[in-house]
Amino acid sequence: VMSRYEAALRALPAVDARRMALSHMTGKRIVEMVHEDLRLSKVLTKKNFENGIVANAAVGGSTNAVVHMLAIAGRAGVDLCLEDFDRVGSQVPCIVNCMPSGKYLIEDLAYAGGLPAVMNRIQHLLHADAPTVFGVPISKYWEDAEVYNDDVIRPLDNPLRAAAGIRVLKGNLAPNGAVIKPSAASEHLLVHEGPAYVFETIEDLKAKIDDPDLPVTEDTILVLKGCGPKGYPGMAEVGNMPIPRRLVEKGVRDMVRVSDARMSGTAFGTVVLHVSASTQ
């Protein structure tokens, strides 16, 4: 029988019958927290945000974690910045062999032991004393957690990728930063030089991307502008631009792409996202 701590973190699939039990446990715990005066502000600490950055790297999690965690931290008054993702998470190994970084599905992760098992394997990288909604330190969540499939949750000496956390990039295109998810990128494209083809808007991209006369090759860097918070608007998940049809037909499956947009955590590709030239 799962402990209540492990159940809360197992990432059970949506169709799993235990989801109903988990929802009841959640509601019961929220009522208990009210009586205990255990407010969210007491749980949203810098240590927990840093644990989140580490865990996101270990599972090959989404670049969307950056915008969401920074927004939550801002509301909570926690001093979290873009550079923290590089400092805390960039060298963390990806040990979860799930799509898009690996080959398995999230339900396989759940049945292999879930997040408690992942946390157990990376516990030396986590703040064990970080507070939780159960009123116990987070180390309780991974106590006695087992891995039931070493190919889904890899040992530290056999990671999917050795240093796979989200990287923060800066340069003349992104003086205020950009991000890339190495675990979802093609290794041979992480160092790349080539001509750029720029799409000024999302409408421009949609109109031209499958044009057989589009002057691009597999070495071209595709750039999409105007899709950040103020552009599209709303910073839509369009950063993983499609590969031009002409190149797909030739077998090309990845190209370097650069955008101020974001992309889905289920997407694969060597994509630089969240390009920021201004903090205004």
- CA 186 from chain center: how many Å? 16
Please report, for residues 26, 85, 97, 139, 243, the alpha-carbon distance to residue 104 in angstroms, rounded to integers and kept in the order given. Answer: 28, 25, 6, 27, 24
> Any idea what DSSP says for residue 113?
T
**Marked catalytic residue, from 23, 264, 276, 278:** 264
**DSSP state letters, 218-265:** TTPEEEE-S-STTTTTS--B--SPPPPHHHHTTT-----EEESSB--T
* The dihedral sign for the CA sequence 85, 186, 239, 119: negative
> Residue 59 and residue 89: Cα distance in Å, rounded?
11
23 is catalytic: no
> Residue 256 and residue 223: Cα distance in Å, rounded?
9
Query: Catalytic site residues?
Result: 264
